[in-house]
Amino acid sequence: MRLKGKRILITGAGRGIGRAVACQAAREGAWVALNSRTESELDVLAATLRDEGGECLVTPGDIGCEETVRRIFCDLRRTWGGLDGLVNGAAIFKRGLIRDMVLSDFQEVMRVNLIGPLLCAREAFGCMLPGGTVVNISSLSGVAGVQKFEGFTAYGLSKFGLVGLTEMMALEGKILGIRSNCISPGAVDTGMLAEAAPGLVPFLEPTDVADVVCFLLSAESCALNGANLILDGNSRTGGAGKP
């Protein structure tokens, strides 16, 4: 198992891509720390993973809050002694045209989708040994030249920022022996997609994304640092997703 004994924190683990990553990582031998704001979802997932023989911790909380992130990492250091991997998967979506943008909505998206990963990375860099890995989950919404959708301004900007953050993390983590990479999936069959773009046809399942995340967490991806892997999934149907 390529992640055997690796201690990995996954944010946004209660549902969608984050949940799929947690399940896949546990099956590959990782010890997984599960984070989201909805503790009940984490409890259900933890029970399932433990029934399958997995080792897991439930670490609920809002990763956009500095004090909460410090508490989560303090718990991880006390319980596991540190961390080997971090998956920044937590994200929210709020629709809004630029001309109607509510500043508080914009700030909330940035707080969770961009500041949260930065706070987690800051703490992770302080407790990872050489060989540690970080995977940021962005989106095609944060990739230049790809089709965009009205009302996605806050979400798209947060994901552009996450791609840029990954490059800086790769640069500054290199001296610490920590690699940071990013993935930018297209339409994935999740509740967030159904809410954000109900007419968009998904080409990817959460498990498809989880496979790539676990590859990036493993030593198999040792040659990659600062990469942004685009997952469009269009080869399944031969066309682009359309609303």
Q: Let me know if domain 7-233 sits in CATH 3.40.50.720.
A: yes
Q: Give 5-24 pLDDT, tens digit per residue.
A: 999 999 999 999 999 999 99
Tens digits of residue pLDDT in 158-193 = 999 999 999 999 999 999 999 999 999 999 989 888
What pTM was estimated for this model as a whole?
A: 0.93
Q: Write down the catalytic residue from 136, 155, 190, 193.
A: 155
Residue type, 105: D
The pLDDT tens digits of the residues spanning 205-232 come to: 999 999 999 999 999 999 999 999 999 8
Closest to 186 measured CA to CA, from 135, 148, 151: 148
- Calpha distance 184→153 (Å, rounded): 16
pLDDT, tens digit (0-9, with 9 covering 90-100), for 116-162: 999 999 999 999 999 999 999 999 999 999 988 999 999 999 999 99
155 included as an active-site residue: yes
**Residues 84-94, mean pLDDT to the nearest whole number:** 97
At residue 210, what is the residue type? Answer: A
